[in-house]
Amino acid sequence: MAIQFDPGTRTFVLRTRNTTYQMQVDGRGRLLHLYYGRAIGTGDLVGLYPPADHGFSPDWYPFRLMRGVSPDVLPLEYTGFNVGDFRLCCVIARDANGAAGADFLYESHEILPGKYSLAGLPAAHDEDNEAETLCIRLRDPINGLELTLFYGVFADQDVITRAARLTNGGAGVIRLEKAASLCLDLPFGRWDLIHFHGRHAMERQMQRVPLSNDIQTVSSTRGASSHHHNPFVILCDHQATEEHGLCYGVMPVYSGSHRTDIEVDQNGLVRLVSGIQDQGFSWTLEPGAQFDAPEVLLACSADGLGALSRIYHRFLRRNICRGQFRFARRPVLINNWEATYFDFNTEKICHIAEKAAALGVEMLVLDDGWFGKRDDDNSGLGDWYVNENKLPGGLRPLIARINALGMKFGIWIEPEMVSEDSDLYRAHPDWALALPGRAPAMGRNQLVLDLGRPEVVDYLAERIRTLLRDNPINYVKWDMNRNMSDVYSRVLPPDRQGEAAHRYMLGVYRLLETLTGEFPDVLFEGCAGGGGRFDAGMLAYFPQIWCSDDTDAIERLTIQYGTSFGYPVSAMGAHVSACPNHQTGRSTPLWTRAVVAMSGTFGYELDLNRLSEEEAAEVTAQIETFKRDYRLIQDGDYYRLTDPAEEPRFVAWEFAAPDQALINLVVTHPEANARPLHLWLRGLDPDALYRVERLDLHGCARVCDETVPEETPARLGAVFSGSTLMYAGYTLPQLFGDYPSVQMHLVRLADAAARA
C-alpha cells in the first residue's frame, strides 16, 4: 500500500520508491503538512513543530489563552484565507455578504485504487494500474465551502500528483477569486529556485537563484503557459548539483495563465503555492457547483537535478502522453516553412518532397499558407478551406503525389485564431475575444477566438474533423501565434467575466480531447510560435511540441538544455534548417545541426534541393544515424554533462541504456591554444567494460590528436571500464573550426567478452 492512514494519530503517509510524504489532521481538524522528502521510517513528526508564540501571529479563537497555536506558522496542506495565516494563500472565496474567509476542517477521506480524474482537464493517467488515490475532504463550517484534496501516488515512479476541488456546499453563492492547485510547505532547509524564463525564439532559459526573504513569482498572464515563464519550477538544496542533493519539482498540468509563488516566512519555512493565475480570475459557484483546479505533478529526488529530470521524462512519456505515439518512432519529416514561407504551390512542394524522399525523409509537412486567403500572415486564419490558387484540385492530388514518393503527409493548422480579413470573422465577429468599445490589441494581426463558447469549439471540431476525414493526413501541427489580451467573452454575464480565460482553456482541452480521440492514428504536434505552450497540459494531447522558432543549432543547445530539466527529448520538436540560419544569420556545420536536432523529434526544414551533393549524402547518413540510435536516444536515460553557466566552451549530453551509451558534444566557442575537451560520463555500470564503437567527429576543419593519425578517428575500438569513464573521464581530441560536434557511441561488452 502506497497510502496509509493511522486512525489513532490521524496521520496519512504516502510512500513512493524513494520518498515519503506525511500529513496529519490535528486536534482541531486542520490538515497539517508534516514532511515530504527522502524516504523515512516511523517517528513522531509533529514534534518537529512545537507550539511557539510568535508576535503578531494570531491564535485560533479556542486557543486564545494558550497562545502559540497560530495558523501563521504551521505547515499546511492547503491554506484557508483571512483567518490568521498571513502567508501565501491558496484560495480567496467571497460569500454573498461579501465576506471572504475560508478555514477548512477535516471531514473524511477515501483511499482508492487507480488514479482520480478531473472534470475537463488533462491529468496523469494510469494505464498500467500502478497508482493509488487519496481523497481528503475538508469543509469550512461557516460558508459551507468544501475542499477535496486529491493525491495520486505513483510509487514506482516517485511521483505524487495533486489537485484540489472546491464545491459550494452552502446555501448562498460563493465567488472564488483565487483557487490554487496546491500548497507545498518546506519548513526547514536552504533552497534555491530554478525556473525557466525566456521570450519568443529563446524559451526555457534555466535560471537558478537563491530564495530570498520575500515572495518570488513565476507566472504568465498571457492565456498560454508562455515562452516567458514555463510552468515548471524546481526547489533544490542550495548545495544540489546534477548528481547530488535534494530537489523538488512542481509542474502544473495546465496550458493557460499560471502562477507559482514562493515565500520564505518569518521562521524560514518555504511556502510554494501553484495553480491558475489569479490576476483577473474569478469563478462563481452556485450552491452545489464545483470547480476543479488543475493537477500538479510533484516529484522529489535526493540524487540531484539529473535524477529529478529523469523522473519527469519517464512520467510525462508514460503517464501524461497518450496514444500510440508516446513510445513510437516518429517519422523523420521535412517541413516547408523555412524553405518557402507562404510562397509555394503544389509543384514547389512536390519538388522539395521528391528530393527529401530520395534522401530518406519519411513525411512532408505542409506548413502555414495552404488555406483561405493566406499569402502572408495578415489574413485567412479561420478559413480552413484549401487555397486552390496554390493547390489546384485541393489537398488530395498533392497528398497522392507525396504518398507516391513513399512519404506520409502532415499539415499545419492554427484553429484557435481568426484574422479580421477572413470569411469566418466576417460571419462571426462576436466569436473573437474583445473588450466592449475598445479596439483590441493585435498580435501578428490576428485575434483569439473565444473557445469558452461551446458553439465555437463545436464549429472548429467539425471543420478539422472534415479536413482530417476528407484527406489522408498523418500528422497535424497545431499552432497558436499570439497571446490572449482583451479577454472578454460576449456570452458571459458581467459578474462572470473573470471566468473567460479559464473557460477558454477548458474549450481548448475539449477540442483537443475530441479530435485526438477521433483520430488516434494522427500524430499531433503542439506549437505556439515555437515553444510558447510547452507544458504538461499540452503533452496530454500532443506527444511532441515544436520547441522553438529558433532553429539555430547553437541557440537550440541552451533552449533544449533548459527544456530537458522537465521534459523528455521525445517531446522536443527539433529540425535541421538552412544556413545562414534564418533567425540568427549564423552558419554551423550540417552535421552539428543534425546532432542537435537528433536529441529531439528530428526533421528538416529547408529546401534540400539547395544542398551540394556532398551535403545531400550527409543528410542520408544523418537519417540512418538517427534511425539506428533512435531507441537509445528516446528510451535511454538522459544526462546533462555540462552546465552552460560553468562551461562556456562546449555543451555535452549523454543517453545511457544498460547496454550502450551515446555521448554528444558541440563546441560552442573554439579556443586558440585550447584547453582539453574533457568529460566525465554518467549512468554507466562502473564494473562493466565499454568499447568505443563509434567516434564521429563532425564539421571539424582539422583534428589535433598527436596520438593517432588524422584518418583514424581517435581511440576507436578502445575499451574502458565504466568507472574509468565516469570517474577519470574521457578527453576528446582537440577540434578546430566553427561549431564542430562529436558523437561517441559506447557499447557495453558482454560479460564473457569482458572477462576474456
**Residues classed as catalytic:** 535, 615
All residues at 6 or more sequence positions from 692 whose CB lies less than 8 Å from its CB, including other chains: 715, 716, 717, 718, 719, 720, 744, 745, 746
Q: How far is the CB of 563 from ligand DGJ (least distance, A)?
A: 15
Q: Does 174 bind ligand DGJ (CB under 6 A)?
A: no
Q: How far is the CB of 645 from ligand DGJ (least distance, A)?
A: 27
Residue 481: strand, helix, or coil: coil
Residue with nearest beta carbon to ligand DGJ:
368
Burial 327-337 (b: 16+ CB within 10 A, else e): eebbbbbbbbb
Cα–Cα distance, 255 to 252 (Å, whole number):
8
**At which residue does the C-alpha cell 568499447 appear?**
691
Q: Judged by CB, which is closer to ligand DGJ: 126, or 383?
A: 383
Strand-pair category, 689-698 with 637-640: unpaired
Q: Judged by CB, which is closer to ligand DGJ: 227, or 401?
A: 227
Among 646, 548, 654, 649, smallest CA distance to 595 is for: 654
Q: Does 481 bind ligand DGJ (CB under 6 A)?
A: yes
Q: How far is the CB of 527 from ligand DGJ (least distance, A)?
A: 5
Binding mask 517-546 for ligand DGJ (x = CB under 6 A): ----------x-xx---------------x
Binding mask 336-355 for ligand DGJ (x = CB under 6 A): -x------------------
Cell of 334: 521535412
Among 90, 46, 474, smallest CA distance to 263 is for: 90
Torsion of CA 203, 208, 213, 219, to 10 degrees: 20
Q: Does 479 bind ligand DGJ (CB under 6 A)?
A: yes
Q: Judged by CB, which is closer to ligand DGJ: 187, or 530?
A: 530
Q: Does 265 bind ligand DGJ (CB under 6 A)?
A: no
Residues 319-338 that bind ligand DGJ (CB under 6 A): 337
Q: Does 412 bind ligand DGJ (CB under 6 A)?
A: yes
Q: Does 642 bind ligand DGJ (CB under 6 A)?
A: no
3-state secondary structure labels for all residues of 211-255:
CCCCEEEEECCCCCCCCCECCCEEEEECCCCCCCECEEEEEECCC
DSSP 572-620: EE-EEE-SS-TTT-----HHHHHHHHHTTT-EEES-GGGS-HHHHHHHH
Q: Judged by CB, which is closer to ligand DGJ: 184, or 339?
A: 339
What Cα–Cα distance (Å) separates residue 752 from each residue in 64, 104, 202, 659, 749? 74, 63, 49, 14, 8
Q: Does 368 bind ligand DGJ (CB under 6 A)?
A: yes
Q: Judged by CB, which is closer to ligand DGJ: 303, or 414?
A: 414
Q: How far is the CB of 336 from ligand DGJ (least distance, A)?
A: 10
Among 656, 611, 590, 667, smallest CA distance to 629 is for: 656
Cell of 169: 456546499
Q: Does 367 bind ligand DGJ (CB under 6 A)?
A: yes
Q: How far is the CB of 368 from ligand DGJ (least distance, A)?
A: 3
DSSP 714-741: TTTT-EEEHHIIIII-EEEPEEESSS-E
Neighbours of 368 (CB within 10 A): 21
**At which residue does the C-alpha cell 469550512 appear?**
140
Q: Does 146 bind ligand DGJ (CB under 6 A)?
A: no
Q: How far is the CB of 481 from ligand DGJ (least distance, A)?
A: 5
Cell of 70: 497560530
Q: How far is the CB of 381 from ligand DGJ (least distance, A)?
A: 9
Q: Judged by CB, which is closer to ligand DGJ: 203, or 265?
A: 203
Q: Judged by CB, which is closer to ligand DGJ: 449, or 684?
A: 449
Instruction: List, in sequence order, every residue forming a beta bridge with 386; answer none if it has no partner.
Output: 371
Among 665, 736, 672, smallest CA distance to 704 is for: 736
Q: Judged by CB, which is closer to ligand DGJ: 337, or 690?
A: 337
All residues at 6 or more sequence positions from 332 whose CB lies less than 8 Å from its CB, including other chains: 360, 361, 362, 363, 602, 603, 604, 623, 626, 627
Q: Judged by CB, which is closer to ligand DGJ: 292, or 479?
A: 479
Instruction: List, in sequence order, every residue forming a beta bridge with 174; answer none if it has no partner.
Output: 285
All residues at 6 or more sequence positions from 426 whose CB lies less than 8 Å from its CB, including other chains: none
Among 466, 304, 305, smallest CA distance to 371 is for: 466
Cell of 428: 462571426
Q: How far is the CB of 576 from ligand DGJ (least distance, A)?
A: 14
Q: Judged by CB, which is closer to ligand DGJ: 377, or 696?
A: 377
Q: How far is the CB of 339 from ligand DGJ (least distance, A)?
A: 12
Q: How far is the CB of 525 from ligand DGJ (least distance, A)?
A: 10
What Cα–Cα distance (Å) separates residue 513 from each residue in 316, 501, 530, 575? 17, 19, 22, 27
Q: How far is the CB of 490 from ligand DGJ (least distance, A)?
A: 27
Q: How far is the CB of 573 from ligand DGJ (least distance, A)?
A: 9
Total interface residues for ligand DGJ by CB under 6 A? 11
Asked whether 632 and 305 are in contact (CB, 8 A), the reply is no
Residue 82: strand, helix, or coil: coil
**At which residue does the C-alpha cell 459551507 appear?**
144
| CA angle centred on 129, ends 124 and 132, rounded to 5° | 70
Q: Judged by CB, which is closer to ligand DGJ: 76, or 467?
A: 467
Among 662, 574, 576, smallest CA distance to 620 is for: 576
Q: Judged by CB, which is closer to ligand DGJ: 24, or 446?
A: 446
Q: How far is the CB of 587 from ligand DGJ (least distance, A)?
A: 21
Q: Which of 185, 278, 383, 549 binds ligand DGJ (CB under 6 A)?
A: 549
Asked whether 91 and 166 are in contact (CB, 8 A), the reply is yes
Cα–Cα distance, 339 to 350 (Å, whole number):
12
Residue 614 exposed, middle or buried by CB count within 10 Å (0-12, 13-18, 19+): exposed
Q: Judged by CB, which is closer to ligand DGJ: 176, or 559?
A: 559
By CB under 6 A, name the binding residues for ligand DGJ: 337, 367-368, 412, 479, 481, 527, 529-530, 546, 549
